[in-house]
Amino acid sequence: MGNIQGKQMVVSAIQNGTVIDHIPSKNLFKVISILKLENIDTQITFGLNLESKKLGSKAIIKIADKFFMQDEINKIAILAPEAKLSIIKDYQIVEKKVLTCPDQVQGITRCFNPKCVTNHQNITPKFTVIEKSPNVSLRCEYCEKITDFEHFKFI
């Protein structure tokens, strides 16, 4: 096969849209779900378990005719801190966005602690990011408990 050697494309190019690269393979389906890609009817292609020097194994998503808002992009940052977004127009990369994991996260995931006040009252969960890589972990601003990546429950 040797399909990831050289410059050969494993995932076909798009004319216009967004390419999200350097997603940790194990987080691909979570990224798909928080970006709500299942609701998009344009062409989406993805590659999984691709070789990556940095991540070991990475995934890539190409979404035709879709451009993301900043708050949507922030949601990816805590799942795929190393991800890179390329905005494609006419098969050309017109803009690259490097995601940096924010120090504070608000309204993206729920607190893992069932006794946290945010899980019982209408309160937007707020977190301080206490670990950024390889996996993000968050400390709740309210109950002070730590929610690990494995326990993220996206809002």
Number of residues lying near other proteins (CB under 8 A): 17
Site string for other proteins, 117-136 (x = CB under 8 A): xx-xxxx-------------
Q: How far is the CB of 122 from Zn ion (least distance, A)?
A: 14
Of 51 and 144, nearer to other proteins (C-beta) is 144
Considering only the stretches 39-47, 50-58, 62-70, 111-119, report the one whose residues sit in contact with Zn ion under the rule CB under 5 A: 111-119
Nearer to other proteins, 48 or 146 (CB): 146
Q: Which of 144, 153, 154, 155 binds other proteins (CB under 8 A)?
A: 144
Dihedrals phi, psi of 108, to nearest 5 degrees: -105, -50
Asked whether 143 and 99 are in contact (CB, 8 A), the reply is no
Contact residue for Zn ion among 113, 128, 135, 137 (CB under 5 A): 113
Long-range (24+ apart) CB contacts under 8 A made by 113-121 are 113/140, 113/143, 113/145, 113/147, 115/143, 116/140, 116/142, 116/143, 116/145, 117/142, 117/143, 118/142, 118/143
